[in-house]
Structure formats: structure tokens, C-alpha cells
Amino acid sequence: MSEKPKQRVWARWVVLAAIILGLFLFTPFFGIGLGIKPIMPEVFLPGEKLSEQPLFTIPFVGPFYYTNTTTGIILADIVVILIAIGVSRGVKSGKVALTGISGAVEALVEALHGITEGTAGKWTKQIFPWFAAITLLVLASNWLGLIPGAETIGIVHHSEHKGYALKDLGAIGGLKIQTIWDEGEPAAAEGEHGAQYVIIPFHRPVSTDLNFTFALALVAVFMVQVMGFRAQGWGYLTKFWNVKHFFSKPIFGFIDWGVGLLELVSEFSKILSFAFRLFGNLFAGAVLIFVMGSLVPIFAPAMFYLLEFFVGLIQAIVFGMLTMTFMAQATQGHGEHEEAHA
């Protein structure tokens, strides 16, 4: 009795492996037979505009276009909201042990809460929501970029610089389905604007847009200052303009004042390092997958997808954890120092 199901499980894995191997072998032969080479997609640093006209114009700031990273933030928001709805349903169901998505989120939130409690102490209740919200949003946006088709399906766009030839695949209703492919020869023979097309994808993970990471960094660093004022009142400003011992201890007082100015500079450099860390990691990851997919189209991209999976997780946790640590530092400040003097 116990032999039979075991065998069936074994047979299932063999069939699965055969299917995967067949797909892997089929793809290159199919491609080579048709003369299709893997191509390197055009890399754009800013989010590509999907709308020709700006949606609206903000005075003094400039026009607002619908870019493909806007799709990224909308999708990430939807995912976070769906998770919230699922968890609130799970909590309201009254089960003692949460199951499914709410159980998974409970484990994550518990781990984050434990880290916050260890660092922030009595300010955990105020600081934890920022930590968890930032981590969840960045995590959702990072992992959404790993879905197949995320940066490959989009609008075919005419490019001025370089691109690939256009090929019709068919049509569904009035919608033409086209692809770009490498014909092997430079397509300059067809004229100046002959066969130069690139794909502008519908969706790109929002962390690869500097605007998003910079905005998130501004919010995080601003809230660090707010936490500092909430914990210490106006005394928080002595961190930046420290003249407490300026006259009583001339030399060390002067050094303290200089250190305060450096603290002010470091607040601004925090914004930059927050923004560039997330952006650089995720953008480099996207480019890495592009390059690997065009160099070694089979097997290798899977490894890099796994790497990007971990990078997305680690960067989300690092962004949240740094915010939490800076907030905890701002709440502590020189408070103990003053108490010791008094």
C-alpha cells in the first residue's frame, strides 16, 4: 500500500523534469531554427512615458506623465491593500491560529516587531508602523518586478538611436501583436528611420525609479525628525546646535558645536544614501537580468532571478530597518545625558 503512492510521486517528478528539460532544449533549437537571437533590451534610466500628453501639470514642478513605474506603484499599492484586506478577514474570523496569507503576514510582522522592540524600547508603538509599512511597500514593489512579463510586454515604440526590426505575430480583434527581433544585420539599409523599434514595457518595478526612492527617503528622514521632536521637544534641536558647554568648557564645547553641524549634514546625506541604495540595487538587478537573458538565455537567468529575489527582500528590510534605527536614535538623543547632570 505504501509503495504505490511513493512511486506515483516519483513518476510525477520525472514527468515534470522531462517537461522542463524539453522546454529548455526546445527553446534554443526553435530559436536557432527560426534565426531568432536573444536580444538586449534598451535600458532607460528614467521611467518611460506611456502617455504622450501629461496627465496634469503641477505648478513650479512640471508636467506629470503616466510612466511605466506609475503602473508599478499602483500594482504595489493594490497588492498591499489586498494583503491588508486578507489579513483583516483572517483576524476577524476569530480563529486562534491564523492560517493562509494572514498567518504568513503574522509571522513577518512578529519578526519585525521583535526587531523594533529590541532597538526602540518604549517607542515601539510609534515607530513600528513606519518600519512595517515601508518594508511591506518596498517588498511588494521589488517582488512585482520578478513576475514574468513585467519588463517585456509593452508598447512598440519608434526609437531615434537604435533598436530592432519589427515583426507581426498576429492580431486579436483590432489589437496588433508585434515583437521586435534581431535580424542579424544592421538595418541601416532601409533608411534613416527604417527598422529601429524598442519596447516600452507597461510595468516596471517602482524601485527602479529614482523619484520613488527619493520620495520615500524624504518621508523617512522627515519622520525621523518628527520622532525626535515628539520624544525630546525643542531640546531635539540641541543635537544640531549644541552650545551647552560652549563657554563652560571652551575647547570641548567648540568641538561639540562642530559635531552638531556635522549631524545636520549627516541628516541630508541620509536622504541621499537611502534613495541611492534602493534605486542602485534594484536598477542594477534589472540590468543584470537583461544582460544575462541576452547572453545566456537558458538556465542562467533562473539563478539571477533567485539572486534578485533575495536582493529585493534584503533591500526592503534594510530600508525599513535603517528608518527604524534612525528613529530610535532620534528618540534617545541626549536625554540620558541631561538626566545624569540633573
Partner 1 sequence: MEFESAKILGKLIGAGLAMIGAIGAGAGIGIVTSGAVQAMGRNPDATGTIQTNMILGIAFAEAVAIYCLVVALLILFVF
Where along the sequence are the contacts to partner 1 (CB under 8 A)?
Answer: 43-45, 114-115, 118-119, 273, 276-277, 279-281, 283-284, 287, 314, 317-318, 321-322, 325
| CB closer to partner 1, 83 vs 321 | 321
| CB closer to partner 1, 187 vs 322 | 322
| CB closer to partner 1, 293 vs 320 | 320
| CB closer to partner 1, 245 vs 270 | 270
| CB closer to partner 1, 265 vs 302 | 265
Q: Least separation, in Å, of the C-beta of 310 and partner 1?
A: 12
Side chain identity, residue 94: G
Q: Least separation, in Å, of the C-beta of 232 and partner 1?
A: 23
| CB closer to partner 1, 105 vs 316 | 316
Q: How far apart are CA 284 and CA 289, in angstroms?
A: 9
Cα separations in angstroms, 244 against 193, 233, 332: 69, 16, 18
Q: How far apart are CA 99 and CA 230, in angstroms?
A: 38
Q: In terms of Cα–Cα distance, which of 282, 275, 276 is closest to 307?
A: 282
Q: Least separation, in Å, of the C-beta of 120 and partner 1?
A: 12
| CB closer to partner 1, 242 vs 315 | 315
Give helix 124-144 / helix 300-332 axis angle, nearest 10°. 160
Q: Least separation, in Å, of the C-beta of 227 and partner 1?
A: 18
Cα separations in angstroms, 93 against 81, 82, 108, 336: 18, 17, 20, 45
Q: Please, where are the H alpha helices in the chain?
A: 3-34, 68-92, 100-120, 124-144, 210-232, 250-295, 300-332, 335-341
| CB closer to partner 1, 229 vs 276 | 276
187-291-281 Cα angle (round to 5) = 135
Q: How far apart are CA 312 and CA 239, in angstroms?
A: 34
Q: Least separation, in Å, of the C-beta of 110 and partner 1?
A: 13
Q: How far apart are CA 196 and CA 163, in angstroms?
A: 4
Q: In terms of Cα–Cα distance, which of 160, 195, 190 is closest to 179?
A: 195
Q: Least separation, in Å, of the C-beta of 131 and partner 1?
A: 12
Q: Least separation, in Å, of the C-beta of 133 and partner 1?
A: 19
The β-bridge partners of 164 are 197
Q: Least separation, in Å, of the C-beta of 279 and partner 1?
A: 7
Q: In terms of Cα–Cα distance, which of 266, 260, 341, 331 is closest to 252?
A: 260
Give the largest Cα separation in the chain, rounded: 89
